[in-house]
Amino acid sequence: IGASLMSSNVGSGLFIGLAGTGAAGGLAVGGFEWNATWLLVALGWIFVPVYIAAGVVTMPQYLKKRFGGQRIQVYMSVLSLVLYIFTKISTDIFSGAIFIQMALGWNLYLSTVILLVVTAVYTIA
């Protein structure tokens, strides 16, 4: 659970966004990540024992087991996917494309397509 949480949090948006914000605003920007680290550890200490006792891995599984019925599990899964696509994935793709555009001087749309193709290839392989 913890490795999944960390791997889904780290991306081009994290590296480029924090570096740019840190360059513009100073070292205090890193305070957010330090606070988030301690809060994630605290949440892990609270929720992981509950998930292990229930025999589940994800929050939608837990909600299905806790409240019964398939609708809450499907609703939370779809909501999580939609929000993840519109908030995390889109910003990661955009920030990665901006990096490629600035580093190599390519068109933004070409950089986006190349980033998507490379990501699809290493995801499938």
Residues 74 and 64: their CA atoms lie apart, in Å, by 9
Tens-digit pLDDT profile for residues 98-108: 888 999 999 99
Q: Mean pLDDT, the chain, as a whole number?
A: 84
* 75 confidence band (pLDDT: 50, 70, 90): very high
In this prediction, residue 27 carries a pLDDT of: 78
Whether residue 45 is predicted with pLDDT greater than 70 in this model: the reply is yes
Q: What is the pTM of this model?
A: 0.60
What is the rounded average pLDDT of the residues 76-104? 88
* Structural domain count of the chain: 1
Question: What is the CB-side half-sphere exposure of residue 63 using CA atoms within 13 A?
Answer: 11
Domain of residue 90: give its range.
Answer: 2-124
